[in-house]
Structure 1
Amino acid sequence: MIVDNDLLSIQQARILSENACMAQKKLATFTQEQLDAVVECVADAVAEHAHELAVMSCEETDCGRVEDKWFKNRFVCTRVREQLRGMRCVGIIGEDESNRLMDIGVPVGVVVALSPFTSPVSTTIYTALLAIKSGNAVIFSPHPAARKSIRWALDIIINAAQAHGLPEGCLTYLETVTKSGTQELMNHPATSLVLMTGVPGMLESARGSGKPVIYGGTGNGPAFVERTADIAQAARDIVMSKTFDNGIAPSAEQSVVVDACVSDQVRQALAENGAHFMSNEESRKLASLMFDSNGCRKPGSIGRSAEILAKRAGFFVPDGTTMLVADRKYVTDNDPYSRELLAPVLAYYVEDDWMHACEKCIELLLHERNAHTLVIHSGNEEVIRQFALKKPVGRLLVNTPASFGGMGITTNLFPAMTLGSGSAGSGITADNVSPRNLIYTRKVGYGVRRVDGAAALGSNTGAGSSHEEGERREVTCEASKVQALHRILMEAIGVLGESAK
């Protein structure tokens, strides 16, 4: 029998959305403590399969490194879980007794989450924990290139969550994944918010849905090595970060901008840590392997090791090479190395001083307009502050590996697998996405002042001239006259009303 997968996917999307809407109404009655108990059991259940899921996702996507995906799965099940403990997202989340104010956390409702193929399992676990913690229903649209591993992870999550009281329908996924079905999920009236991680091809459709969009992309995030930096440490950080999971971490460096006076030292330090600086011919061959003549990325180049990429491009690299580096001068539309490089490959720029480096970083950040992270290696606090003030980016990381600093491993940023790209207008936030991004806050304000007499006009907090005090008395007198006239009119209206009867 011939099956129209588009129609089937659309029908599934409608059913899932309607069921999720009804299920979330039940979930909205849960206390924070009940939600926390479900989070804990889900994290425990997935942690038992963290390594198997890492192996499966690597085999399915042919992308990244098993040990690094295992690390990310464990990171979500431990570090993220620990951060969620004690956080209040629903019910009373804040009180200010002195000002008689209160904040109430309210779930947004139904979240549609698009999972990537670069970090399919860890991102899916993370999104599920955030949604449960904040009392939201979530419907996943798995990336077609990672659907098996995402589904297996979700089956584990759903079984554990429902066994501990989560209403059926609160955690679901699209079985038949098509673009039409995913668009139906995003456009459905029951959907309150779209959460996208690394699926740029669906960004315009998400924006067109009219729903709030949280978008976590990658982009062309550079690292700047300034002359006062600890060169040896900066080189170790950059190589460690860019080779983690073969360069596909969301905040990984895509290029390096170096202060000219320390360029020779930086080149040597990078080489000592496994970087191979390519010749012009090698750079050309690698670019042809990664991108076609129209600038579109070729399949099979994402998340591969440096040795595999060099071999496929047709050139030799020394044993122990972990990263490939291309010397560049300009940021141009037709230069592949001005693009995001989802592999252990870096573009290398040299600038005369930090001010020229500042401009180069801005060029790189704006080139693809969805970069969210910039790294600076420097010992000069004034330069660091100037970079923080001027860069069009969601987060600035200082003296740390970008992959780990952005995720909140080596910094105190919220531990996250989705890093917002709001600085370029791609979403509603540039935060490391947390459960607080999946709620809205209901404000409660108690009355503390009366709207009559002097209180309505403001208190006399300082000495004023006799003329000013006279004006205040006159205004107060006029206000009293208006109030008296208002009462007379109301009484008259009441009398006329009785006469009409």
Structure 2
Amino acid sequence: MNVRATGAEVAAHRADDEAERIVAPLVARARAAQRDFENAGQQALDTAAAAAAWAIMEPQRNRQLAERAVHDTGLGNADDKFRKNYRKTLGLLRDLHGQKTTGVIAEDKASGIVEIARAVGVVAAVTPSTNPAATPANKIVNALKCGNAVIVAPSPKGHSSCALLIEFIHAQFARAGIDADLVQMLPAPISKAATAALMRQCDLVVATGSQANVRMAYASGTPAFGVGAGNVASIVTASADLHDAARKILRSKTFDNATSCSSENSVVIEEAVYAPMLAELAACGGVLLDAAQKARLQAAMWANGKLSEQCTAKSAEVIARVAGLDDIAARHPAFLMVEEAGAGSDYPFSGEKLAPVLAVYRAADFAAAADVVRDIYAYMGAGHSVGLHSADPAQAVRLGVTLPVARVIVNQAHCLATGGNFDNGLPFSLSMGCGTWGRNNFSGNLGFRHYLNTTRVAYPIEERVPETDELLGDFFARYGR
């Protein structure tokens, strides 16, 4: 027993040593390139960011990346990935346009403070198989805009898509005379040891994907931004436009076969509109399973307590066939629906499914619906976001005050809106922080400011010391001195 354990420890140490040896020269080249790049001026930073963005946005390259991603990962569909690659990158460029990210970026004469943007150095970008091109591109563009070098640690399945993306980026760099060492990736085969070594050796980790990778990022000893688990629920109230809500849920639930962490996994419907809302969802192509069909689907989707790769990010028709529901598959469903009454490990449909399968809950009223969502998030998804379809804007604020969520998405297709869209004001991102509810150190959408240090110069100003009563007068008036 001890011999075997000792042997395993020796093997692990050897793997770690080998990983450090592989990663070290990548980081060294990145540091050398970054030292010159960060002082090259705003135009140079903007040019590099634009080159990386156009590498994925140009239609022929975009199509190759989208098709490669589906072919190699087996997740999602190429047309939606094509749209995602373009729109998410275009939106990011909109957010970055005109932003100063080097040198003096702000001066406040009243406070005597001058702010200077500084690069963080070499960024380790950990990316998932669900978005093997869009997420690396987003992180690369943000990092370059801020004067950093970046080394991507893709998922094993997403390695070839990421390699193709970086090949395209390097071609654009060559046109503009930009050092290719500013953007690199771990060599295949991707291993946990190499990803961990990269995290340790870089200056900042930005991790999107599995919670194992996020936890590894936080434990790496390097400053890190990681995201929480997704498991979005949306509430449909009695005041909602049911026709509009159903079509938005359809778009969100089926986009890229629900690979997004922002796709609805559950919908909670007020009792007063439960039947008509189900009818609207059925009119959109949703098929409600009976109890026996639900049991067969559950057995197919969760093997030994884990989501089955046979169902993850596949179409509803494929999933139905995997579950032996050929009669359902023959109806060419857009998504599958199952009625659910509880949350937790005994109710697997209450968790994240990464598939066009929607758990449907019935709630007596808005307060009860919020309670259902709270129970779901106590199991999985706390901190991420909640959807609301309602004509009452005050209900959205109430959810924002009472639920453990960083975003409340109102009357929108949730997975298209949460990471920023052209019809809302959220910044474009493919990495959503979940705050302390989701064990994260930020609660916004990961953006360029997360890739910057800020140095503050403080000049002397005229002293003004406040009187005690100015600050404590209200307290004294109510409770005495």
Q: Is TM (by shorter chain) over 0.5?
A: yes
CA shift for structure 1 position 200? 2.2
CA shift for structure 1 position 371? 5.0
- The letter of the residue matching 1:228 is S
Deviations along 1:160-179, whole A, 9 cap, x unmatched? 23542433432111103111
Residue aligned with 1:254, SS: strand
Q: How does 1:230-269 map to 2 (within 5 A)?
A: 230-269=241-280
Q: Does residue 192 of structure 2 align to residue 179 of structure 1?
A: yes
2:355 and 2:93 map into 1 onto residues whose CA distance is 29
Whether the 8 Å contact between 1:246 and 1:343 is mirrored in structure 2 is yes
CA shift for structure 1 position 220? 1.4
Name which of 413, 424, 443 aligns with 1:430: 443
Residue aligned with 1:447, SS: coil
Match of 1:420 in 2: 433
- Higher Rg of the two aligned structures: 1
CA shift for structure 1 position 182? 0.7
Q: Does residue 308 of structure 2 align to residue 298 of structure 1?
A: yes
Match of 1:475 in 2: none
1:247 and 1:353 map into 2 onto residues whose CA distance is 28
Q: Does residue 233 of structure 2 align to residue 222 of structure 1?
A: yes
Residue aligned with 1:332, SS: coil
Deviations along 1:453-475, whole A, 9 cap, x unmatched? xx6x658999xxxxxxxxxxxxx
2:278 and 2:466 map into 1 onto residues whose CA distance is 66
Match of 2:42 in 1: 32
Match of 1:284 in 2: 295
Deviations along 1:313-348, whole A, 9 cap, x unmatched? 011225341010110001121221021010101111
Shift of the 208–338 alpha-carbon distance from structure 1 to 2, 3 Å rule, reads same
Match of 1:20 in 2: 30
- The letter of the residue matching 1:204 is R
- The letter of the residue matching 2:169 is I
Match of 1:473 in 2: none
Match of 1:274 in 2: 285
Name which of 453, 456, 477 aligns with 1:443: 456
Match of 1:59 in 2: 71
CA shift for structure 1 position 120? 0.7
Shift of the 166–427 alpha-carbon distance from structure 1 to 2, 3 Å rule, reads farther
Whether the 8 Å contact between 1:219 and 1:365 is mirrored in structure 2 is no
Shift of the 304–349 alpha-carbon distance from structure 1 to 2, 3 Å rule, reads same
Report the count of equivalent residues.
451
Unmatched 5+ stretches in structure 2:
1-13, 471-481
CA shift for structure 1 position 425? 4.2
Residue aligned with 1:441, SS: strand
Unmatched 5+ stretches in structure 1:
463-501
Name which of 408, 431, 437 aligns with 2:420: 408
TM-score normalised according to structure 2 size: 0.89
Whether the 8 Å contact between 2:130 and 2:259 is mirrored in structure 1 is yes
Whether the 8 Å contact between 1:392 and 1:423 is mirrored in structure 2 is no
1:427 and 1:216 map into 2 onto residues whose CA distance is 6
Match of 1:89 in 2: 101
Match of 1:469 in 2: none
Match of 2:112 in 1: 100
1:230 and 1:460 map into 2 onto residues whose CA distance is 54
Runs of 4+ in 1 over 4 A off after TM superposition: 4-8, 457-462
Whether the 8 Å contact between 2:232 and 2:261 is mirrored in structure 1 is no
CA shift for structure 1 position 101? 2.5
Residue aligned with 2:124, SS: strand
CA shift for structure 1 position 218? 4.4
- The letter of the residue matching 2:366 is W
Using the aligned pairs only, state the percent identity. 28
1:106 and 1:449 map into 2 onto residues whose CA distance is 29
CA shift for structure 1 position 91? 1.6
CA shift for structure 1 position 231? 1.1
CA shift for structure 1 position 290? 1.4
- The letter of the residue matching 2:82 is W
Shift of the 148–5 alpha-carbon distance from structure 1 to 2, 3 Å rule, reads farther
Whether the 8 Å contact between 1:405 and 1:411 is mirrored in structure 2 is yes
